[in-house]
Structure 1
C-alpha cells in the first residue's frame, strides 16, 4: 500500500502513555524506578513533537494546495459564465432573460451556502449534545 502520506509508516504512530499500569517496553512496574533518564525522556518527547509538527505542516500544505485549486476553479467558472453570457447575447437572447438566469444562479448559490452553514451548525449541536 503506497501512500502519498509520508507519515503513514508504523514509526510515526505515537505510543499511548501507560498510566498506573505495567510498562509495555520493560515489563517492569512504574514504581520500580526503571524507565528513561530525564534527558532521554526529553529527547523522546522532542522527537514526538517534531513528528507532530511535521504532520501538521503536511496537513497545512495540503489545505493550502486545495484552497489554491478552489480559487483557480472559481476563476475558470467565472470565465465560463462570462463566455456563456456572451454566447447567449450572440444567439439573440434578451438581456432581461440573461439577467433573470444570473439572478437564479445567485439565488441557488445563496440557498447552497445557507444550507451548508445550517448543516455545519447542526453537526456542531449534535456533537455537543452527544458529549
Structure 2
C-alpha cells in the first residue's frame, strides 16, 4: 500500500518537474529572443508618454563627451550614470553595515564595562569579607585605575599614529 502511495507521489513530482522545465525553456527562449535593453527603454517611453528621459534631456546629442563615447563604442552616458549610482548604493550599503557593526561593538563594550564594574565591586566586598585591609584594597583599585589610564593613553597614541601615517601616505 505504501509503495503505491510513494510511486504516485514520485510520478506527480516527475510530472511537475517536466512541466517546470518546459516552462523554463519557454521563458528562456522569450528572454533570449527579446532585447532587454529595448524593453527597458520602451517601458520608459510608454511611461513618459512617448518621450524617454534621454530625449527630454538631450544629453547624448548635446554633450560632446556623449558623442565621443558613442563613436568609441563605450557605454552611453545614461548607462554610465546608472552604473555609478549602483556602485554608490553598494558602497552606502557596506558603510551602513560597518556602522551597524561598530554600533554593536560599542554596545558590547558598554555591557562588558558594566559587568567588569560589578565584578570589581564583588571582589572588593569579597576581600573585605576575607579580612583584607582597606589600605590593600585601595592599592589594588589605584593600580587598576593606573592600568586603565595606560590603556586609554596608548589607545589615543595609536589613533594619533594612524592619523599621522594616513596623512603622511596621502
Partner residue of 2:121?
82
Distance 1:54 1:106, change over 3 A: same
| Counterpart position of 1:70 | 109
The question of 1:49 aligning with 2:88 is answered yes
Largest Rg, 1 or 2: 2
Q: Secondary structure at the residue paired with 2:82?
A: helix
TM-score normalised according to structure 2 size:
0.54
Q: 2:78 aligns with which of 39, 53, 58?
A: 39
1:87-102 pair list within 5 angstroms:
87-102=126-141
Alignment partners' CA distance in 2, 1:129 and 1:36: 37
Which deviations, in whole Å up to 9, do the C-alpha atoms of 1:3-31 show, x marking residues without a partner? xxxxxxxxxxxxxxxxxxxxxxxxxxx68
Choose from 127, 151, 169 the match for 1:112: 151
Shift of 1:32: 3.7
CA 1:81/1:60 → structure 2, altered by over 3 Å: closer, same or farther? same
Query: For this pair of structures, how many residues does the alignment match?
Result: 103
2: CA distance, partners of 1:81 / 1:48: 49
TM-score normalised to the size of structure 1?
A: 0.68
Cα RMSD for the two superposed structures: 2.1
Structure with the largest fraction of helix: 2
**Alignment partners' CA distance in 1, 2:162 and 2:82:** 40
Q: CA deviation at 1:116?
A: 2.4
Question: Match of 1:35, SS?
Answer: coil
Where does residue 5 of structure 1 map in the other structure? none
Alpha-carbon distance in structure 1 between the residues aligned to 2:168 and 2:78: 43
Query: 1:72 & 1:35 partners in 2: Cα distance?
Result: 54
